[in-house]
């Protein structure tokens, strides 16, 4: 099952009418095998989870005559580093300087 949710530091998570809850990289840990909590059943396991960085406020406000996204290589490198070290990303100022747009969880039931 794939779940796409807004990342808590992104401005669109707060401005969109349909967004009632915001998520971080580890929000669903409570219901997975990664949970250390004893009161929550561990019914799911992660197949994949990742932070997604889409073209946002910073790159779209720069006026350019071409339609080429000049920040694409930077965003690609930053996404790879942030997904490799998510806790470092979330616990630093980078989370607000360059926020992810969404978190994608791919989970499956434990049988």
Domain segments of the chain: what residues?
A: 2-59+66-109
How wide is the angle at C-alpha 52 spanned by C-alphas 7 and 85, nearest 5°? 90
The whole-number pLDDT of residue 56 equals: 56
Is 101 in contact with 10 (CB distance < 8 Å)?
Answer: yes
DSSP β-bridge partners for residue 46: 107
pLDDT 10s digits, 41-77:
778 888 999 998 876 544 444 555 556 667 778 888 8
What Å distances lie between residue 100 and 50, 89, 93, 110, CA to CA? 10, 10, 13, 29
CA 109 – CA 22 distance, rounded (Å): 23
Whether the predicted pLDDT of 14 surpasses 80: no
pTM here is: 0.72
Question: Which runs of E-coded beta strand occur in 1-111?
Answer: 2-6, 44-52, 102-109
pLDDT 10s digits, 28-48:
888 888 777 777 777 888 899
Q: In whole numbers, what is the pLDDT of the chain averaged over residues?
A: 79
């Amino acid at each position: 099952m794939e779940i796409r949710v807004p990342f808590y530091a992104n401005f669109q998570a707060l401005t969109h009418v349909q967004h009632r809850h915001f998520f971080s990289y580890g929000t669903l840990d409570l219901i997975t095998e990664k949970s250390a909590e004893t009161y929550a059943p561990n019914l799911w396991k992660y197949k994949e989870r990742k932070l997604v960085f889409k073209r946002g406020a910073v790159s779209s406000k720069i006026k350019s005559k071409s339609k080429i996204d000049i920040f694409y290589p930077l965003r690609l490198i930053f996404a790879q580093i942030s997904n490799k070290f998510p806790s470092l990303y979330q616990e630093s100022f980078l989370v607000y300087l360059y926020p992810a747009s969404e978190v994608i969880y791919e989970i499956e039931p434990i049988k």
